[in-house]
Amino acid sequence: MLKEKILVVDDEKSMREFLEIMLRKEDYKVSLAPNGEEVLRLIERDIFDLVLLDIRMPKMDGIAVLKKIKALSPETVVIMITAYASAETAIKAMKEGAYDYITKPFKIEEIKLIIKNALEKKNLQKENTLLKQVIRDRYHFDNIIGQSSKMLALYDLLEKVGPTKTNILVTGESGTGKELAAKAIHYNSPRKDRPFVTLNCGAIPESLIESELFGHMKGAFTDAIATKKGLFEVADEGTLFLDEISELPLLMQVKLLRFLQDREFKRVGGTEDIRVDVRIIAATNKDLDEAVREKRFREDLFYRLNVIQIKLPSLRERREDVPLLAMHFLQKFSEELNKNITTISSEALQLLLDYDYPGNVRELQNIIERAVALEVNPELTAQNLRSYLDDHLQLKKGGLDLDIPNEGINLEKLVEEIERTLLLKALNRTHGIKKKAAELLGINFRSMRYRLDKYGLNDGTDMEP
């Protein structure tokens, strides 16, 4: 353990030497200074834990030196020494940041105790600061916010898997923060200084996914006007995050599986084998087990990706985190929108706690942003929240009676009827244009086609308008 450093400042040589001997016996590392100028020179070169500072010195008095020390090294503890004690001098020194003052002549045991207590207080404050930093970093693990038991368990798991090379499958509903979890894994791993690259498998046309992942050679296809690196090359020695992995076409599933087995690939139109070191983190809000059973997702690829599965809880499952998240977003959007909103009313908070958040954290963020934009008070009130919740609560919008009769219900059949009805309404509104209907329902082309086939609604026409 490093010795604590004490700087003794006194214009009397005998006093400096006396204090040096006494403090060295207490196992402190001691430096000496006869005046303020020497103090400033030493403070600029080193960090001292504590300074014993005489008030009466030529040229620069102790109060002036105290101000300089606090400006240059705010964490250094300063104890004033004076032979001319007065209430006025003591109060002035304390106002300028002195920890305490000692009157000459002093008792050795008295000064030892004051120094010991001062350093213990300093160390305790430092430990508390570090602890708060650890807690803050942990609860805000790369912007993942929460203190619930489910989130604490998630932080533990993220910390454990970060240093490994293992492929990870992140599951959870939309809006739960799957990409944030993937980033947390990456930035708490040995790969943190290398690229973190993202591909949304449901947002890239099927014909372009292979080129996007593996790259292509010039002239490999009509639009290949130049040779291009794929995301696997870009992410070399880093992490590739494959979002919405359930939407990856079957042909690309085969090629991804081959890469995971061999760790090498060829660019589209290329002949050279390219070997890279990439960690794969995949994510989905779908049930991949069901997709495997229905032959929409390869079982062998599923097992390759699902070495470790991290399931993110919905906001409904960690409702106790809603106040913390709400305050986080309130501060964020108050600053961004130049508002001075600092609190949430108890009525507004209760509304937030009562809502089910089908869109999870992302929806809560949007709710708070909207409310902050509309709020004119220094407190977020229930009025602006109600206007959103009344518009978006599905019970009110759909007019559904979700009471369960005594004889019970067939949940799967009811859900299928609702889904089929919404598909037909979307197609009717878009005059049969399936692409627009898919956009209206917030799903991609392949998901739309699968659902139409499921209910026998696919007339065989192209998905494109």
pLDDT at 141 over 70: no
Confidence band, pLDDT 50/70/90 cuts, at residue 442: confident
The string of DSSP codes covering 200-258 is ETTTS-HHHHHHHHHEE-TTSSTT--S-EE-HHHHTTTSEEEEETGGGS-HHHHHHHHH
What is the DSSP-derived secondary structure letter of residue 321? G
CA distance linking residue 361 with residue 364, whole number of Å: 5
Q: Can you give the pLDDT at residue 396?
A: 42
Find, among 78, 148, 129, the residue nearest to 322 by Cα. 148
Q: CA-CA-CA-CA torsion for 286, 255, 451, 290, nearest 10 degrees?
A: -40
The string of DSSP codes covering 161-206 is HTTS---EEEE--TTS-HHHHHHHHHHTSTTTTS-EEEEETTTS-H
**pLDDT tens-digit readout, 278-313:** 999 999 999 999 999 999 999 999 999 999 999 999
Identify the helix (H) or strand (E) that includes residue 397: helix 394-398
**pLDDT tens-digit readout, 119-139:** 988 878 766 654 554 554 455
More confident residue, 100 or 405: 100
**pLDDT tens-digit readout, 171-220:** 999 899 999 999 999 988 999 888 999 999 988 888 899 999 999 887 88
More confident residue, 256 or 398: 256
Give all domains of the chain, ordered by start, each with its CATH number: 5-132 (3.40.50.2300), 145-311 (3.40.50.300), 315-398 (1.10.8.60), 411-454 (1.10.10)
Beta strands in 36-151 (DSSP E): 50-54, 77-82, 100-103, 140-141, 144-145
**pLDDT tens-digit readout, 305-357:** 999 999 999 999 999 999 999 999 999 999 999 999 999 999 999 989 988 88
CA distance linking residue 181 with residue 197, whole number of Å: 14
Lowest mean pLDDT among 253-257, 297-301, 372-376: 372-376
| Structural contact between residues 370 and 384, judged by C-beta atoms closer than 8 angstroms | yes
Q: Is 198 exposed, middle or buried (0-12, 13-18, 19+ CB in 10 A)?
A: middle
**If you average pLDDT over residues 228-234, what whole number do you get?**
89
Q: Can you give the pLDDT at residue 394?
A: 45
Sequence-ordered list of residues with C-beta below 8 angstroms from that of 164, at least 6 positions apart, any chain: 189, 308
Q: Can you give the pLDDT at residue 465?
A: 41
**pLDDT tens-digit readout, 380-426:** 998 888 877 765 554 444 445 456 666 677 787 778 878 888 888 88
Helices and strands counted in the chain (H then E): 20, 18
Q: CA-CA-CA-CA torsion for 137, 142, 144, 150, nearest 10 degrees?
A: -60
**If you average pLDDT over residues 88-116, what whole number do you get?**
87
CA distance linking residue 153 with residue 157, whole number of Å: 6
pTM above 0.85, yes or no: no
pLDDT at 461 over 80: no
SS3 content of the chain, % helix, strand, coil (to 5): 50, 15, 35
pLDDT at 114 over 70: yes
Find, among 204, 213, 209, the residue nearest to 278 by Cα. 213
Cβ neighbours around 324 below 10 Å, total = 17
